[in-house]
Amino acid sequence: MLAGNDAASRIMVALDYPDVDAARVLVRQLEGIPCYMKVGMQLFYAAGPEFVKELKQHGYRVFLDVKMHDIPNTVKGGANSVTKLGVDMFNIHAAGGVNMMQAALEGVEAALRDNPELTRPTVIAVTQLTSTDGRTMNEEIGIQGPVEEAVVRYARFAQQAGLDGVVASPQEVIRIKAACGESFQTVTPGIRPAGSELLDQSRVMTPQEAFAQGTDYIVIGRPITGAKDPRAAILAIIEELTNK
């Protein structure tokens, strides 16, 4: 069982919107609820850093889900820019390798040295996308073995590089925590409250099930953003988590 504000602060709402106006409507509807806001590439490419600043001014914590993957020097620069922007969390692909992940951390540190008032963002790795199945990973990407093994291997390398955690399917949380320790954070999408539509997610868990696996944050998009009353939808999730 989680306390009300603790439950809210561990829910990340995926603001998957094409423009800032649509995102603002949702943000207004959720006003006063201390959830995390996840800004992904669709909204960030359309709305840019200004909208992230706007969310910060409203007091939200922001997870910038832009999944950086490039040569180390470029990722270092990207990490430096998003740290200066004031995001609370961002992610990079573990497939970029340990050098690339360490370069991201160097970019973070450089920003903090330039402006000690900034807070250090949580940096997490994307392991194997949940949309990648075993066949795609084995045949197209060329990584052998089961997906779960690749996920844990990536998580270990992310930890070795000094990252704080990974994005993963809730099904993988126990294995990741066993390999990397409880304090290595997991952020899990693929969450569906009981009775809500699966849409294009296949292996899903309810919020309660995901927290029972030991996850640190759950990412929820359409069950909140697509609800007739998004505020009622998130409050119902918080209520369930608080009472169980």
Contact in structure between 107 and 75 (CB atoms under 8 Å): yes
Distance in Å, CB of 69 to ligand C5P, minimum: 14
Nearer residue to ligand C5P within complex by CB, 68 or 219: 219
67 is catalytic: yes
Contact in structure between 96 and 70 (CB atoms under 8 Å): yes
Contact in structure between 218 and 190 (CB atoms under 8 Å): no
120 DSSP assignment? P
132-151 positions binding ligand C5P, by CB under 6 A: none
Distance in Å, CB of 113 to ligand C5P, minimum: 31
Residue 40 is a binding residue for ligand C5P (CB under 6 A): yes
- Interface with ligand C5P (CB under 6 A), residue from 167, 173, 176, 218: 167
Choices 46-54, 146-154, 175-183, 213-221; region in contact with ligand C5P by CB under 6 A = 213-221
Residue among 24, 125, 106, 7 at smallest CA distance from 68: 125
**Residue 91-130 contact track with ligand C5P, rule CB under 6 A, x = bound:** --------------------------------------xx
Query: Which of 67, 84, 228, 244 is the catalytic position?
Result: 67
121 DSSP assignment? P
Spatial neighbors of 148 by CB under 8 A, at least 6 apart, are 172, 175
Residue 210 in tokens: 């995901």
State which amino acid sits at residue 228. K
**Which positions are catalytic?**
67
Residues lying near ligand C5P in the complex (CB under 6 A)? 14, 16, 40, 129-130, 167, 189-190, 201, 219-222
